[in-house]
């Protein structure tokens, strides 16, 4: 069976890869949106935190023999704690000045992280094995679906929806959103806003780390894996607009699929398709697909 002259199996395989990439885009752009929402900063270090998440998984297996599931728990804790420390010591003094300074600061942090990891582990990629439970593939009749890829899509969408639920539907989320609107007033109600801000940044960092662990078995772990991805994620964020949580999840998944489709029909353009879409969206709807016009 063929679609537009392309074997169905290859077509669906690429679509699946696109969906996997889309899940990573969704998780990372969600973290960026959450941090941007409350702190008003663009976290350039997000890619580095994702990279560190993957290295935590790899290191805990190599050095301590901790398995995938332990890493999935450990990495967000470690990276989240790093995030909290960064927010408390470095970002805090910058809330009063122009937001471009915090962008530049996090850019500097990303360079530092990249340099340190490159010095320690070199530029060649590290392999991380697929956990035993998720090895193999399931034959769906029309395609063979690798179990791990299905898990990535399932797990990351689960994490995304859980984040959405916490922010949009719980009391904690309501406080967070109120803090975005008017921090002084929320503080007056006796809520510790600075702590909330720290936890939000830590939470965003933890999301990036989970994405890093999920990605570890399907990619080459390198010090540069974060910065290559984060630029695409920035484009995703611009396309979606940072106004809505659900919007950034949806945009991420959608663009992953579009990229997958481009790989099938015109592979040369697959690297740039997201950027082209960004340019078109900016011309037609500058606030982004889900953004609100100011």
Partner 1 sequence: MTFSNANSARWAWGAGLVFLLVAPFIGVYPVFLMTALCFAIFACAFNLLLGYTGLLSFGHAAFMGSAAYATGWLVRSAGWSPELGLLAGMLLAGALGLVVGLIAIRRQGIYFAMVTLAMAQMIYFVCLQVPFTGGEDGLQGVPRGSLFGLLPLASDLTLYYVVLAIFVAVFAAIIRIVHSPYGQVLKAIRENEPRAISLGYDVDRYKLLAFVLSTAIAGLAGALKTLVLGFATLSDVHWSLSGEVVLMTLLGGMGTFAGPVIGAMTIIGLQNFLADRVGSWVTVIIGAIFVVCVLAFRRGIVGELLAWQQRRRQR
Draw the binding track, 238-257, toward partner 1 (x: CB under 8 A; -: no contact): x-------------------
Distances (CA, A) of 150 to 16, 53, 135, 144, 287: 8, 20, 11, 11, 33
Q: List Cβ neighbours of 272 (8 Å cut-off, separation of 6 or more).
A: none
CA angle (291 as vertex; 166, 228 as ends), nearest 5: 80
210 contacts 49 by C-beta, under 8 angstroms: no
State which of residues 2, 69, 118, 188 lies at the interface with partner 1 (CB under 8 A). Answer: 118
99 binds partner 1 (CB under 8 A): yes
CB nearer partner 1, residue 84 or residue 232: 232
Using the rule CB under 8 A, which residue among 1, 119, 190, 293 binds partner 1? 119
The token pair at 245 is 């949580």
Q: Which CB sits closer to partner 1, 40 or 136?
A: 40
CA–CA separation, 134 and 213 (whole Å): 14
Give residues 125-154 in contact with partner 1 (rule: CB under 8 A).
none
Q: Using an 8 Å Cβ cutoff, are 236 and 33 in contact?
A: no
Which CB sits closer to partner 1, 90 or 250? 90
Q: According to CB under 8 A, which one of 105, 199, 215, 245 is a site residue for partner 1? A: 105
Give the E-state strand segments of the chain in sequence order.
2-3, 6-7, 137-139, 144-146
Which H helix or E strand runs over 101?
A: helix 99-121
Q: Select the residue interacting with partner 1 from 136, 231, 266, 292 (CB under 8 A).
A: 231
User: Among residues 212, 278, 267, 266, which one has the least CA distance to residue 23?
Assistant: 212
User: Can you tell me which of 108, 129, 136, 158 binds partner 1, judged by CB under 8 A?
Assistant: 108
**With binding defined as CB under 8 A, does residue 237 bind partner 1?**
yes
Contact criterion met (CB below 8 Å) for 75 and 210? yes
Instruction: Choose which of 81, 112, 133, 161 interacts with partner 1 (CB under 8 A).
Output: 112
Over the window 18 to 57, marking each residue x when it contacts partner 1 by CB under 8 A and - when it does not, the resulting string is -----------------------xx---------------
Binding mask 178-217 for partner 1 (x = CB under 8 A): ----------------------------------------
Q: Considering beta carbons, is residue 74 or 236 the nearer one to partner 1?
A: 236
CA dihedral angle for residue 263, residue 268, residue 273, residue 279, rounded to 10 degrees = -170
Count the helix, strand and coil residues of the chain and give each as a percent rounded to the nearest 5: 75, 5, 20
Contact residue for partner 1 among 90, 133, 150, 159 (CB under 8 A): 90
> Which spans of this chain sit near partner 1 (rule: CB under 8 A)?
41-42, 90, 93-94, 97, 99-105, 107-116, 118-119, 227, 231-232, 234-235, 237-238, 268, 271-272, 274-276, 278-279, 282-283, 286
């Amino acid at each position: 069976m063929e679609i537009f002259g392309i074997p169905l199996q290859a077509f669906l395989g690429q679509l699946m890869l696109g969906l996997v990439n889309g899940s990573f885009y969704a998780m990372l752009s969600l973290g960026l949106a959450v941090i941007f929402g409350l702190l008003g900063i663009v976290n350039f270090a997000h890619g580095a935190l994702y990279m560190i998440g993957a290295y935590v998984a790899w290191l805990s297996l190599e050095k301590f023999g901790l398995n995938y599931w332990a890493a999935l728990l450990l990495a967000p804790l470690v990276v989240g704690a790093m995030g909290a420390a960064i927010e408390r010591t470095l970002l805090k003094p910058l809330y009063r000045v122009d937001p471009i300074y915090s962008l530049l600061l996090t850019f500097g942090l990303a360079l530092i992280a990249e340099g340190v990891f490159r010095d320690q582990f070199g530029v060649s990629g590290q392999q991380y094995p697929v956990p035993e439970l998720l090895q193999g593939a399931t034959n769906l009749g029309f395609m063979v679906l690798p179990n791990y890829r299905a898990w990535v899509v399932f797990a990351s969408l689960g994490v995304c929806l859980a984040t959405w639920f916490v922010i949009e539907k719980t009391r904690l989320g309501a406080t967070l959103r109120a803090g975005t609107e008017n921090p002084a007033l929320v503080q007056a109600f006796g809520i510790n806003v600075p702590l909330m801000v720290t936890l939000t940044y830590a939470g965003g960092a933890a999301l990036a780390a989970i994405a890093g662990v999920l990605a570890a078995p399907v990619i080459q772990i390198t010090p540069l894996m974060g910065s290559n991805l984060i630029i695409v994620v920035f484009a995703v964020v611009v396309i979606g607009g940072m106004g809505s949580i659900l919007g950034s999840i949806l945009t991420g998944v959608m663009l992953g699929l579009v990229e997958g489709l481009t790989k099938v029909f015109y592979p040369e353009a697959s690297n740039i398709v997201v950027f082209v879409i960004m340019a078109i969206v900016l011309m037609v709807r500058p606030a982004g697909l889900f953004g609100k016009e100011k």
